[in-house]
Amino acid sequence: MIEYAVIYERGETNWGAYVPDLPGCVSIGDTLAEVQENIKEAIELYLEILKEDEKPIPEPSRKVGQVSVNI
Protein backbone atom coordinates (compact mmCIF):
# COMPACT_ATOMS: atom_id res chain seq x y z
CA MET A 1 0.00 0.00 0.00
CA ILE A 2 1.25 3.46 -0.89
CA GLU A 3 -0.33 6.85 -0.16
CA TYR A 4 0.11 9.98 -2.24
CA ALA A 5 -0.94 13.52 -1.36
CA VAL A 6 -3.85 14.68 -3.51
CA ILE A 7 -4.86 18.31 -3.96
CA TYR A 8 -8.60 18.93 -4.47
CA GLU A 9 -9.83 22.22 -5.90
CA ARG A 10 -13.43 23.35 -6.25
CA GLY A 11 -14.15 25.12 -9.52
CA GLU A 12 -17.22 27.05 -10.57
CA THR A 13 -19.03 23.96 -11.86
CA ASN A 14 -17.01 20.93 -10.75
CA TRP A 15 -14.08 19.61 -8.71
CA GLY A 16 -10.52 18.97 -9.86
CA ALA A 17 -7.76 16.90 -8.33
CA TYR A 18 -4.06 16.36 -8.97
CA VAL A 19 -1.20 14.40 -7.45
CA PRO A 20 1.97 16.51 -7.09
CA ASP A 21 4.24 13.44 -6.90
CA LEU A 22 2.81 12.01 -10.16
CA PRO A 23 3.15 14.69 -12.86
CA GLY A 24 0.16 14.72 -15.18
CA CYS A 25 -2.01 12.60 -12.90
CA VAL A 26 -5.20 14.67 -12.77
CA SER A 27 -8.95 14.17 -12.72
CA ILE A 28 -12.25 16.03 -12.49
CA GLY A 29 -15.71 15.25 -11.17
CA ASP A 30 -19.06 16.91 -10.61
CA THR A 31 -18.78 16.42 -6.83
CA LEU A 32 -15.98 15.98 -4.32
CA ALA A 33 -16.94 12.33 -3.86
CA GLU A 34 -16.83 11.75 -7.62
CA VAL A 35 -13.44 13.37 -8.09
CA GLN A 36 -12.07 11.37 -5.13
CA GLU A 37 -13.07 8.13 -6.83
CA ASN A 38 -11.82 9.36 -10.21
CA ILE A 39 -8.38 10.37 -8.91
CA LYS A 40 -7.99 7.01 -7.17
CA GLU A 41 -8.60 5.28 -10.51
CA ALA A 42 -6.23 7.72 -12.24
CA ILE A 43 -3.46 6.95 -9.73
CA GLU A 44 -3.95 3.20 -10.16
CA LEU A 45 -3.77 3.53 -13.95
CA TYR A 46 -0.74 5.85 -13.76
CA LEU A 47 1.16 3.34 -11.59
CA GLU A 48 0.09 0.41 -13.77
CA ILE A 49 1.52 2.13 -16.84
CA LEU A 50 4.79 2.85 -15.01
CA LYS A 51 5.06 -0.85 -14.09
CA GLU A 52 4.33 -1.95 -17.67
CA ASP A 53 7.02 0.43 -18.94
CA GLU A 54 9.39 -0.88 -16.23
CA LYS A 55 9.83 2.61 -14.81
CA PRO A 56 10.30 3.26 -11.09
CA ILE A 57 7.31 4.02 -8.90
CA PRO A 58 7.83 7.48 -7.34
CA GLU A 59 7.98 7.53 -3.56
CA PRO A 60 5.58 10.01 -1.96
CA SER A 61 7.47 13.16 -1.02
CA ARG A 62 4.68 15.46 0.13
CA LYS A 63 2.28 15.62 3.06
CA VAL A 64 -0.81 17.78 3.12
CA GLY A 65 -2.36 19.26 6.20
CA GLN A 66 -4.64 21.99 7.35
CA VAL A 67 -4.00 24.72 9.89
CA SER A 68 -6.77 26.53 11.75
CA VAL A 69 -6.32 30.23 12.55
CA ASN A 70 -8.55 32.80 14.18
CA ILE A 71 -9.76 35.66 12.00
**Which pLDDT score, from 0 to 100, does residue 29 have?**
98
**Which pLDDT score, from 0 to 100, does residue 7 have?**
97
Instruction: Tell me the per-residue pLDDT of 13-68, one tens digit each, with 9 for 90 and over.
Output: 999 999 999 999 999 999 999 999 999 999 999 999 999 999 999 999 999 899 99
Rounded Cα distance between 26 and 20, Å, is: 9
| Residue 2 vs residues 57, 58, 59, 70: alpha-carbon distances, Å | 10, 10, 8, 34
What are the residue ranges spanned by the domains of the chain? 7-52
**Which pLDDT score, from 0 to 100, does residue 61 have?**
95
**Which pLDDT score, from 0 to 100, does residue 38 have?**
98
pTM to 2 decimals?
Answer: 0.89
